[in-house]
Structure 1
Amino acid sequence: MNINNFKKVIWPFFWVEHEKSVSVCLNVGEYKTEIFQEREEEGFEGNGYDWASLAKVFLEERKPELMEDVKFDPEADMFCAYSSNTDALKIFIIAFKEACENKILIQDLFSRAELD
């Protein structure tokens, strides 16, 4: 997959290349906010930490082989995953974005996310 197609597939997540690693990020509050509204009374806001909690459940349950390679560094207004293994992060974000587009699957995964 060429880089332009890849960027379209993962949008609104965006890819950032660094000297020795890569990141994939999301400005929160613009995508799938309804996921987090369902657990708002528990304290979920849809911030970067909440996205990271959801992504961790996804990684543990759907892509455990990538757990050694994919790490998270969220902030209040941004979700960020990073890795020194470019292929691992690409596999993760493509699969995670597909999961986000599957309402039943993403709600099921989010039901096990823990507030950070």
Structure 2
Amino acid sequence: MLDGELAPFKLVDYGSGTSVIVNAGVYKQELFRMREDEGFEGSGYDWASLAAVFLEERMPELTGVVRFDPEADMFSAYSGDREAVVRFARAFRAACEDETLIRDLFSRAELD
């Protein structure tokens, strides 16, 4: 049920925690194209830069609880606290669907 609510993000439970992942290069590519002249391409690292701004500004209580582990082709946020990952995933997904908000947050993302 949660995965349907979070799509295209997906929750993954593993022995010591939970991750939320999304494949890079598909979802919200038009957002990353806005700054492609600066080097953004929608990679997992670019997603992590965007998520870091979101976390710092919108959910600072989860800073240090939810961490990022991006790769070129995938964004991943994880924690040993499953509820923290679920809260982050729901809020970040909602922010991604709010075009004005996500563009504003992305304007402050820094290229990794």
Normalising by the residue count of structure 1, what TM-score does the alignment of the two structures yield? 0.95
Letter matched to residue 5 of structure 2: V
> Considering only aligned residues, what root-mean-square deviation do their CA atoms show, in Å?
0.5
**What amino acid maps onto 2:24 in structure 1?**
V
Which aligned segments of 4 or more residues in structure 1 are displaced greater than 4 angstroms? none
Equivalent in the alignment of 1:63: 59
Unaligned stretches of 5+ in structure 2?
A: none
Name the SS for the 1:45 alignment partner.
Answer: coil
- Specify every segment of 5 or more residues in structure 1 that has no aligned partner in the other structure, as ranges: none
Aligned: 1:74 with 2:65:
no
In structure 2, the residue matched to 1:53 is: 49
Deviation of the 1:30 alpha carbon: 1.5
Q: 2, 9, 30: which is aligned to 2:5? A: 9
* Alpha-carbon separation, structure 1, partners of 2:70 and 2:25: 14
Task: Work out which of the residue numbers 36, 39, 61 in structure 2 matches 1:40.
Answer: 36
CA distance in 2 between partners of 1:101 and 1:9 (Å): 12
Q: Once the two structures are superposed, what CA deviation does each residue of 1:50-88 show, in whole Å capped at 9, x if it has no partner?
A: 000000000000000011210000000000000000000
Distance in structure 1 (CA, Å) of the matches to 2:90 and 2:5: 7
Report the Cα distance in structure 1 between the residues aligned to 2:33 and 2:64, rounded to whole angstroms. 30
CA–CA distance in structure 1, aligned partners of residues 86 and 11 of structure 2:
9
2:87 pairs with 1:86: no
The separation in 2 between residues aligned to 1:30 and 1:38, in whole angstroms, is 15
Query: Would you say how many aligned residue pairs link Structure 1 and Structure 2?
Result: 112
Between the aligned partners of 1:33 and 1:9, the Cα distance in structure 2 is 20
Q: Take 2:45 and 2:106, find their aligned partners in 1: how far apart are those partners?
A: 13
Identity of aligned residues (%): 58
Q: TM-score, normalised by structure 2?
A: 0.98
